[in-house]
Structure 1
Amino acid sequence: MPNAGPALSEYLEARQHLWNVYFRPKVHDLRNVILDDFEQIDFLLFKSIVCSELGILLPDKFVLGQDCVPDIKVMPKSAVDETLVMTEKDFNNGTQTWNAPAVVAVRGLKLNFIDFFQWDHYGVLSMAHVLCRTSPSSQHQIAPNSLIVVEKKDFDFLV
């Protein structure tokens, strides 16, 4: 499987730089139109830097940050036996809640990439986590199709 890590790292660096330097200082409240502008730019960055380079075609109604990116698999690094994860708990009134972090074995864990993640979406971006969905074929204690957050440092990204 080809390594998607370099393209994803380049995209993440561009995303964080644009947000941290040019957009974040201009956000004064969450109704600011600049947030919509940034989402459009972010999507174009992802398509240009990641999808074009890796030959990934996104579905017509694809929503970055919500839908799994076709073909990008998140695989535990070979030296990693366990990792810290948070699994989805509930989604009410537009708010996702999470179970407490837990250390789990990575053997049999198959993940599909959704987006890079951090808890504060409007502060300085550093994005040390990855939002994923467990694969339907995952043979793991975490149920298939579960939404989870993992630490980026423990995983490789493959196409």
Structure 2
Amino acid sequence: MAIYFTVGEGLGQALFEWWQGLEKDRASRAVLRRASSLTEISLTPAYQRLCGRLGALNWKDWERDRFALVVGVLAHVKTHDVRPPALAMSQRAPGEDRPPVSELRFLRLLESPDPDSLFSGVRRVLPLMGGVDVIVLANDLIHWGDAVKKKWAYGYDWPEKTVR
């Protein structure tokens, strides 16, 4: 079973509604935001309830681990935006000459060796980004691998360097 979140349909709709509900369920959001690892996230009642709602309890172990990554990261997203993650990290605000997430930090994020370090890295850059497309971010995290890394690398708005 390939897990894919689609806007307005099935798993995607349920995930998006859950994310929106975190605004009112501040206790669950706080518990998830305090979690420092995927194991801690997977032990929270909020994660377990969402797993039950989405049928994730029947997923493979690695899928549930990736889903914990998604849940933990989304608890830190404050604003839904149409921008995909790489663009949200690199798009400069009007009048700014530097991107929200520097090239070096972005490259380090792409080199995350495991889901726990990816969680830590993404969680740290989210406050810098403003808003991000919640469903695109969820899909990218659950399918994290070379294809997503390339997608992010191509989607990042690299600054032009002058060659001398």
TM-score range, shorter chain: 0.3 to 0.5
Output the TM-score relative to the length of structure 1: 0.36
Structure with the higher fraction of residues in helix conformation = 2
